[in-house]
Amino acid sequence: MRGAPVAAEAAAELDLTAYAEQALIVGAQAIAAAGGAQDTYNLEQLIHDVGSRTAEASASAAQATDKVISGATATMRQMTTEVNKALKEAGETSRATFTQTVAQARADLQSQVLALVGGDDPQLVAKLDSLLATFGSNLTDHTDKRTAELFEKATKALDPADPTSPLARHQHELAKQQADLTSRLDEQHAALAKGVEEIKTTLASQKAAAEVAAQLASVTPLKGGTFESQVHAVMHALATGLSDEYAETGTVVGNVAGSKKGDGVLTVMGGPARVVLEMSATKAPREWTAYLEESERNRGATTSIGVVPSLAQNADQQVRVLGPRRVVVVFDPQTDDPAMLRLTVQILRVAALAATTDQRTGAVEVAREHIAQALAELSRIQNISRFAGLAKSNAQKVETEAERLAAHLNRLLLQAQTALVEPILATPTDDGNAGTEASDSGAA
């Protein structure tokens, strides 16, 4: 409970150490109470208020001390003036009274002597007159001298300009106490300011760390690892099932000097056909065509796949076809089924085979037709997924349609792969038959 206010004159002698310590404790408790992200306290404003109030307290104490010293000095000077005036008046009055008393005593003594020794002999009277005059003069001089000395001592004792006077020593002590108090207040204020700065630095570091953590969480929000590492894990499993080889290349410089674009490379059947994957979880827009084109050049690939975790990063499209050999697909390893990514990889790996096969054979053209049809069918799957979310009552119908399309895609991919592989496996004496079989596969 707060006590009665203290007058400014009384604050000059106070030690504010306890106040500063209590201010730090209250500030620390306020900061601890406002530590949660859900609290509405403005910690920076609180710290600013603590520093401002401490500075105001220091300034107020210093002003109060200066005011007390100035008041005491003015009072002592006024007292000195009044005492000097009183001493001067008292000296003048004393001299006048003493002179009057001596003159009266001289006259009385003279009259008494005349009464005692009066007669016709003026010599005795003359000698007594001379003696009395000398006595009166000496007594007056001595009195004046003692009075002047007393007045001088009193004036000197009350003169603040004289360093040996009690008033000057008292003023010096007051100035020393004021300097000591100011020094202690400055030290306490500096220590408090340092503590507040450390708290502000800590809070700023915590705020920056929280912002970085939030940014990282928005970029890599997946449990157990980053978005890229999660996609790598899925791709390793897909490559094993397809008898292909998958390598993580995001930290390795490729064919383009200084470039690390192309986070993963799928080598198809150990041959020259390659599919490069580029993952991105950033919310900033990206020019995917140019990005995938450079990734292909950097990794020596002929087809490329961009993978993002949300529809907002892919123009609200589940699958976005950017050309005959480039696709951007939405896939969140934490929540999504890898079927869509698997279909995309299967189509692009066949497209990579077609791009690296001898272009003079008719099988390549047949494969390209199947691949183009597969990409068109792949784009329809996102519509089916949207229909499934809008019409739960037709879920069975949508699922059946999706299964039919998936089977159709697999058949198209098998036909395209067969068209590409059969010419490679055919012997030189079977060139004519191989061409016939390829045509039959295309017709199928």
pLDDT, tens only, 351-363: 888 887 755 555 5
List alpha helices for 256-338, DSSP H. Answer: 288-299
All domains in the chain, ordered by first residue: 10-206 (1.20.1230), 227-443 (no CATH)
In angstroms, how far is CA 430 from the centroid of its own chain? 75
Which is it for the CA torsion 91, 92, 96, 99, positive or negative?
positive
- Structure tokens, 54: 């401490």
How is residue 246 written in tokens? 């998958």
What is the pTM for the complete model shown? 0.41
Assess whether pLDDT exceeds 80 at residue 240: yes
pLDDT of 245 > 50? The answer is yes
SS (H, E, C) 319-385: EEEEECCEEEEECCCCCCCCHHHHHHHHHHHHHHHHHHCCCCCHHHHHHHHHHHHHHHHHHHHHHHH
Nearest partner of 276 among 251, 259, 293, 290, judged by Cα? 293
Name the band, by pLDDT with cuts 50, 70 and 90, for residue 301: very high
Helix (H, G, I), strand (E, B) or coil at 444: coil
Q: Which residue has the higher pLDDT, 50 or 432?
A: 50
Highest mean pLDDT range out of 78-82, 272-276, 437-441? 272-276
Which residues, in sequence order, are bridge partners of residue 329? Answer: 307, 319
Q: What mean pLDDT is predicted for residues 377-387?
A: 63
Measure the CA–CA gap between 53 and 51, rounded to whole angstroms: 6
Across the range 264-275, mean pLDDT stands at: 91
| pLDDT score of 25 | 73
Per-residue pLDDT, 377:
65
Identify the sign of the CA torsion 294, 297, 298, 303: positive
pLDDT by residue (tens digit) across 94-124?
777 777 877 787 777 777 766 666 655 556 6
- Burial category of 420 from C-beta neighbours within 10 Å (exposed 0-12, middle 13-18, buried 19 and up): buried
The string over 378-409, giving b where at least 16 C-beta atoms fall within 10 Å of a residue's C-beta and e elsewhere, is beebbeebeebeeeeeeeeebeebbeebbeeb
Distance (Å) of CA 422 to CA 51, 273, 303: 82, 16, 22
